[in-house]
Structure 1
Amino acid sequence: MKTLEKVNYKGFIWPIIVGVVLWCITPWRPNGLTPQAWQIFAIFVATIVGCITKPLPIGGTTLVGLVVTVLVGLAPMKDVTNAKGVVVNQGVLSSFGNSAAWLIAMAFIMAHGISKTGLGNRIAYIMIQKFGKRSLGIGYAITGLELILGALIPSNSARTGGVVWPVVESVSKEGYDSKPNDPSRKKIGAYIDFTAFHANILSTALFITGAAPNLVAQQMAAKQGYNMSWGGWFIASILPVAILAVIVPFVIYKMYPPEIKETPNAKSWATDKLNEMGPMSKPEKIMTAIFVLSIVLWVLSGFIDIPQLNTTFVAFLAVALLLITGVLTMQDALRETGAWNILIWLSILIFMASKLISYGFIAWFSKLVQTGLHGVNWGLVLVVLMLLLFYTHYFFASGTAHMTALYLPFLSVAVATGAPLGLSAMLLAFTGAINASTTHYANGPASILATTGYVKQGEWWKMNFVLGLIYLVVFGVVGTLWMKVIGVW
């Protein structure tokens, strides 16, 4: 006899309470907000609470939030255009055309190819051979890999999904039999999965081309008369990033210790495994060629302005080549459920966050901050603005959208209170890079690594809160002093 699937109905209690209470106080909403702005805020907060209480998997929870948004009339299904054909109200169907979400989905399928061909195993064994004597050494090796890739690949999602995650998965599963969604995850997989995420934050902060939000900050700062160059950003970030690259893997190691700490026989074991594998197979060689081609094209996309060289298109191209060459089948792609799950929930959260912007909630919040900080010492203003830019990321699933909405208003507030332009511009830009240390939906890499089954959602939030404080202190204190030394302010 067939039965219904289990649903955690208790998990709906808090999202419903929070959403209904916020909705019911719409008549008493803050001045300057339209009813629609407050109501979309209520639904968004309720959805985020649902992502925490998990009445359904995150894809189902966000889908319910999207349905409610349409039912109450806050978003149509299709785009609404005016007589000139200009979109005046974005429909929910358009949310599934989000390039970041599709990039991640394609990166997941690429990662499946790296795993299927055995290339991931080979890379894992080579890494264990070189760095595997201690698990902490692997953590530093992953961090070093990310920092190198940060200079080459201008998409943080492409770096994680297309390159780093397949390595993490292979090292964990094949190297140490540490499997996701299993007690063995704590052997080493959970540690290097979480370390890989923070390595991505550091590589994003080190290079202005490390991720799209950095480039948004560059464009916005130019409107205030401050020019951010590639070299200037790198010099300003190198000291705080270098310090964090040393301490973050160690802090994670102590806070989230792997069960396997030392493997003195790792080198000989990995060498034996490589010998067993023998020469590279034909599928491995093709996968390697497509993998390298993708990296080259991702690198070029940061320097050559060609529409076809878009980072998302490169990921689509790689998957198409894997299908054409027979490395993957369409069934392989369809079975990669993580790709399609992320495509759904990340697209929805980005869409809902965009509605907060279009209905004026974010503009109202920016004005509130400006008014509240009038007449306050500029040093304190910068501290407050950094904290606000960091912690408001709980309401965003896209760093690009977050920086587009708040960076320029916050920079304007800082400068108006007497804060040095260069210091303000750089500190707020760095905050936009490190504020990914908040949620499991903070950015593309978080969406990938928080859903692998190695790190539980509660662990992700707790440890990120601690590491977020470390980032704020290092960039806020060391970064400020360093930028004084090098003449930024």
Structure 2
Amino acid sequence: MKTLEKVNYKGFILPLAVGVILWCITPLRPAGLSAPAWEMFAIFVATIVGCITKPLPIGGTTLIGLIVTVLVGLAPIKDIVDPKTGKVTTGILSAFSNSASWLIAMAFIMAYGISKTGLGNRIAYWMIKRFGKKSIGIGYAITGLELVLGALIPSNSARTGGVVWPVTESISKDYDSYPNDPSRKKIGAYLSFMAFHANILSTALFITGAAPNMVASQMAAQKNYNMTWISWFSAAVVPVLVATIVIPLVIYKIFPPEIKETPNAEKWATDHLKEMGPVTKPEKIMSMVFLLAIILWVLSGVFEIPQLDSTFVAFLAVGLLLLTGVLTMKDALNQTGAWNILIWLSILIFMASKLISFGFIDWFSKTIQTSLHGISWQIVLVVLVILMFYTHYFFASGTAHMTALYLPFLSVAVATGAPLGLSAMLLAFTGAFNASTTHYANGPASILATTGYIKQGEWWKYNFILGIIYLLIFGVIGTFWMKIIGIW
């Protein structure tokens, strides 16, 4: 007998309560703020809270928020043009024309080819073979693997769950290091923790490294700052390179493995490569298409050529994979993560744009600017970065966090005189490395913190230390580097 699907109705209680309370106090809204602006704010906050409590998957939750926006008259279905003034009121269907959402959706489909062809595992085995003679070498190999996959797989959870964690687990058990057992400290705990921080670095290095990065790029565009693949990479490459050297060493010192030498790792990797056999034709095509995509993404940030638009490049890559038979249309349609992100990212960006068009963000930034009068922008920006980092203790979703705070924080920074480029990039990077807080900070944290190799207390304690290191590397070295390359 067919039954209804489970719905977490309890998860609706808090967002509904928050939304209704905010809506009901509309008559008491701050001076200078219109009723539609406050009402849109109420729906937006309720939606973000819903993304945290998860009554439905994030796509379903944001869809409910969009439906409410239409029902209360804050947005039409289709664009409406006022015949007298020519003013356009954007409808909700325009949300799904968002280029960033389509870019990351296509990138998800491209990334499926990595697992389907086995290219991801081949890269992993090759790196372990090359650098795996010592446990710290394996740590660096995992970091290198993540950095490579960060350019190829746009989902940080998919990189960890689909490629990095299976390899890490296999190595750990090969050295008789098991979860929920004293043997976890032989090497499994170290490698698991290292895999998590490698994921943070790969997320920070590429604009396509994770969904929150794309949220930041779209929010920054609302303030007329354009983030491209190459501009993000150029700003991130030096602080990420420094962190890539420092973080594995720090983890090796504060959370060391009992096993220091790992001569068997090279043989383990070699055996797996032999099992895979020679590089296959699908792997070769997959590699060439991704290389082409990266080259075109770089060129799109250098030359203003419509055909080199970064979203079109992603469409082109998927088209090539379909034409060559690496992927099928069924493969593309089965990538539920791609279509899910297309829905919720488009909706959240649309709702944020409504907050701008109704004047809420402008009011907020001016209000904060007035209250911070006389305080230097340097101090304001430092405080905002620190707040962006530590407020992640209250969020279980990097996307929800970025959507809720990035644009308001960026507006405040710019309003107090901080350079737009520096503020946009520092806050965006913080949204990548603030995952180094809790065991529920993002998808990879949820995966790796529950494997049984790392105790929750260890996770919080060591991440607190590493969080300070990230803040210093990106805040100090990153700031100076962005000055050198002219971002501010």
**Could you say whether these structures have the same fold, taking a TM-score greater than 0.5 normalized by the shorter chain as the test?**
yes
Cross-structure match for 1:414 = 417
SS in 1 for 2:88: strand
Check 1:267–1:66 CA distance in 2 against 1; reply closer, same or farther (3 A cut). Answer: same
Q: Shift of residue 23 of structure 1?
A: 0.9
Tell me, what secondary structure is at the counterpart of 2:431?
coil
C-alpha spacing 1:412/1:53, structure 2 compared with 1 (3 Å): closer
Amino acid aligned to 2:244: A
Q: CA deviation at 1:482?
A: 8.8
Measure, in 2, the Cα distance between the counterparts of 1:13 and 1:325. Answer: 49
- Contact 1:399–1:432 (8 Å) recurs in 2: no
CA contact (8 A) 2:132 2:141 kept: no
Contact 2:205 2:237 in 1 (8 A): no
**Per-residue displacement from partner, 1:152-174 (whole Å, max 9, x unpaired)?**
xxxx8x65429996697334336
Residue by residue over 1:425-445, the C-alpha shift from the partner in whole angstroms, topping out at 9 and shown as x without a partner, is: 6752442332323889xxxxx
Q: Report the secondary structure of 1:73's partner residue.
A: coil
Taking the TM superposition and a 5 Å limit, the aligned residue runs for 1:59-98 are 59-83=59-83, 88-98=88-98
| 8 Å CA contact 2:300, 2:308 repeated in 1 | yes
CA distance in 1 between partners of 2:26 and 2:9 (Å) = 27
Deviation of the 1:66 alpha carbon: 1.1
Asked whether 1:46 is paired with 2:46, we answer yes
Match for residue 290 of structure 2?
Answer: 291
The alpha carbon displacement at 1:245 in A equals 3.4
Q: What pairs with 1:170-319 in structure 2 (closer than 5 Å)?
A: 170-173=163-166, 176=169, 192=195, 195-202=198-205, 241-248=240-247, 264-319=263-318
Contact 1:134 1:262 in 2 (8 A): yes
1:198 positional shift? 3.3
Q: How big is each residue's C-alpha offset from its partner over 1:1-43, in whole Å with a ceiling of 9 and x where there is no partner?
A: 1111111111111111111111111111111111111111111
Contact 1:437–1:464 (CA under 8 A) maintained in structure 2: no
Q: Distance in 1 between matches of 2:319 and 2:128?
A: 31
- 1:5 match: secondary structure: coil
Cα distance, 1:121–1:480 mapped onto 2, change above 3 Å? closer
Q: Quick one: distance in 2 between partners of 1:255 and 1:357? A: 45
Q: How much does 1:319 deviate?
A: 1.0
Paired amino acid for 1:367: K
Superposed CA offset, 1:323-369 (max 9, x none): 11111111111111111111111111111111111111110111011
Specify whether residues 262 and 333 from structure 1 end up closer, same or farther in structure 2 by C-alpha distance, changes over 3 A only. Answer: farther
On the 8 A contact 1:142/1:199 being kept in 2, the answer is no
**Which residue of 2 is the match for residue 131 of structure 1?**
131
Matched, 1:434 2:444: no
Aligned to 2:12: 12
Return closer, same or farther for 1:250/1:92 CA change in 2, 3 Å cut-off.
farther
Deviation at 1:241, TM superposition (A): 4.8
Residues 92, 177 of structure 1: CA spacing in aligned structure 2 closer, same or farther, 3 A cutoff? Answer: farther
Greater Cα shift, 108-117 or 139-148: 139-148
TM-score between the two structures when normalised by the length of structure 2: 0.73
Say if 1:477 and 1:364 are closer, same or farther in 2 by CA, change over 3 A: same
Say whether residues 1:333 and 2:332 are aligned partners: yes
List runs of 5+ in structure 1 lacking aligned partners: 150-155, 205-209, 223-229, 416-423, 441-446
| C-alpha distance after superposition, 1:114-140 (max 9, x if no partner) | 211222221121122123456764554
* 3-state SS, counterpart of residue 414 of structure 2: helix
With normalisation by structure 1, the TM-score equals 0.73
Whether contact under 8 Å (2:376, 2:416) holds in the other structure is no
User: 1:74 Cα deviation (Å)?
Assistant: 1.1
Letter in 2 for 1:11: G
Q: How many residues align?
A: 447
Closer/same/farther in 2, CA of residues 254 and 436 from structure 1, 3 Å limit: farther
Task: Please say if 1:454 is aligned against 2:453.
Answer: no
Partner of 2:175: none
Query: For residue 370 of structure 1, what is the aligned residue in structure 2?
Result: 369
C-alpha change, 1:412 and 1:33, in structure 2 (3 Å) is: closer
Quote the Cα distance in structure 2 between the aligned partners of 1:478 and 1:71. 48
Distance between the aligned counterparts of 2:433 and 2:259, measured in 1?
27
Question: Measured at CA, do residues 346 and 455 of structure 1 come closer, stay the same or move farther in structure 2, by a change above 3 Å?
Answer: farther
Give the drift of 1:487.
13
Q: Deviations over 1:31-85 (max 9, x none)?
A: 1111111111111111111111111111111111111111111111111223389
C-alpha distance in 1, partners of 2:17/2:4? 26
Cα distance in 1 between the residues matched to 2:203 and 2:166:
21
Q: Distance in 2 between matches of 1:254 and 1:214?
A: 36
Matched position secondary structure for 1:265: helix
Counterpart code for 2:430: N
Q: 2:264 and 2:98 mapped to 1: Cα distance?
A: 46
State the Cα distance separating 1:295 from its structure 2 match. Answer: 2.0
Matched, 1:169 2:190: no
Deviates more, 1:6-15 or 1:426-435: 426-435
Structure 2 gaps of 5+ residues are 172-178, 181-187, 208-212, 436-440, 451-455
Deviation sequence 1:185-225 (CA, Å, 0-9, x none): x9867863553233332566xxxxx9897899899899xxx
**How far apart, in 2, do the equivalents of 1:257 and 1:69 lie?**
52
Q: How many angstroms apart in 2 are the aligned matches of 1:262 and 1:10?
A: 50
Segment drifting more, 127-136 vs 9-18: 127-136
- Matches of 1:259 and 1:341 in 2, distance apart? 42
The percent identity for this pair of structures is 58
- Please say if residues 411 and 428 of structure 1, whose CA atoms lie closer than 8 Å, have aligned partners that are also in contact: yes
Q: Is this contact kept in 2: 1:190–1:454, CA < 8 A?
A: no
Is 2:108–2:338's contact at 8 Å kept on the other side of the alignment? yes
Give, as a single letter, the amino acid of the residue that structure 1 aligns with 2:39: Q
Following the alignment from structure 1 to structure 2, what is the Cα–Cα distance between the partners of residues 124 and 8?
A: 38
